[in-house]
Amino acid sequence: MKQPNILDLRPTQFVLGMKEIESKISKMAVFSKKELVDYSAEHRIPVIIGPNEELYMIDHHHFARACWELNVKTFSVKIIKDLRHKSEKDFWNFMIKKEWLYLNDQFGMGPHSPYSLPTDIRCLADDPFRSLAWTVIDAGFIKKQLIPFFEFKWSAFFRMNLDIPLHSKSNFKAATGLAKKLAQSKAACNLPGFIGP
C-alpha cells in the first residue's frame, strides 16, 4: 500500500485533548531521526479501509495530529479491516457496532451523525475534559486500557461529576486535583482502568 499523507487519514472522532498533543509535540520535537523512526514504529496508526477507499483511523489521533504539526512523514499505518465493498450506510453501521467511532463533541453533546465527522486531523476540536482524562491517566491514577476510546469514558465521567467549569487555560490545575480524587472514588469503580484508592 502506498504511503498516505497524514491529511488523507479520516478521523473517527470529533475532538482531541490539546494538552496531550502539546506533550507529544514537545517529546517528538527533540527526537533524533532514529528515535523518531522507532517511536513512529511503536505508534502505527490502525486504519479501516472504507467506501471509496478512504482510510479511517480508529486510534492514535493525537499522534497523527502531532505528526501534522511537526511535518513528520515517518508514520505508518496498519490495516485492521477492509470494508471498501460495503455501502456507506452498512459501513457506518458496522463501525458503530464495533465501537470504532466516538460521536460526541467538545461539549459532551451527541452522538452526532458519522456523516458529520471532520475530514482530516486539522479539523478536530479541543475538549479540555479529554485533556483532563489524559493528565490523570499519565499521572498513574487510571490504568491505560486497550479499549477503543476508553479515555472518553473517563472524560465523560469527569464532565458529569466535576463541579467547576473547565477550560484548557483556566481551572485546569484545580480540576486535575479533583479529578484524581474522583478517579479513585467508588463512583468510578465500573470504568475501564479503575485502580481505586
166-175 tens-digit pLDDT: 765 678 888 9
DSSP at 108: S
Residues 52, 140, single domain; the answer is: no
Residues 48, 131, single domain; the answer is: no
Q: What is the mean pLDDT of the chain?
A: 94
Residues 75, 132, single domain; the answer is: no
Per residue in 105-128, pLDDT (tens digit) is 999 999 999 999 999 999 999 999
Flag whether 193 is in a domain: no
Say how far apart CA 19 and CA 132 lie, in whole Å: 8
Per residue in 26-42, pLDDT (tens digit) is 999 999 999 999 999 99
Host domain of residue 105: 6-125
Say how far apart CA 67 and CA 167 lie, in whole Å: 25
Q: What CATH number does the domain containing 99 carry? A: 3.90.1530.10
pLDDT band at 3 (very low <50, low <70, confident <90, very high): confident
Residues 76, 155, single domain; the answer is: no
pTM: 0.92
How many domains is the chain built from?
A: 2
Say how far apart CA 57 and CA 64 lie, in whole Å: 9
Give the cell for residue 145.
Answer: 486500557
Give which of 152, 114, 146 is closest to 16, Cα–Cα.
152
pLDDT of residue 1: 63
Give which of 108, 139, 197, 118 is closest to 19, Cα–Cα.
139
Per residue in 64-100, pLDDT (tens digit) is 999 999 999 889 999 999 999 999 999 999 999 999 9
Flag whether 195 is in a domain: no
Contact between 10 and 117 under an 8 Å Cβ cutoff? The reply is: yes
Sequence-separated (6 or more) residues with CB below 8 Å from residue 119: 10
Residues 134, 171, single domain; the answer is: yes
Residues 108, 157, single domain; the answer is: no
Residues 142, 52, single domain; the answer is: no
pLDDT of residue 64: 97
> For the chain, percent helix, then strand, then coil, each to nearest 5?
45, 15, 40
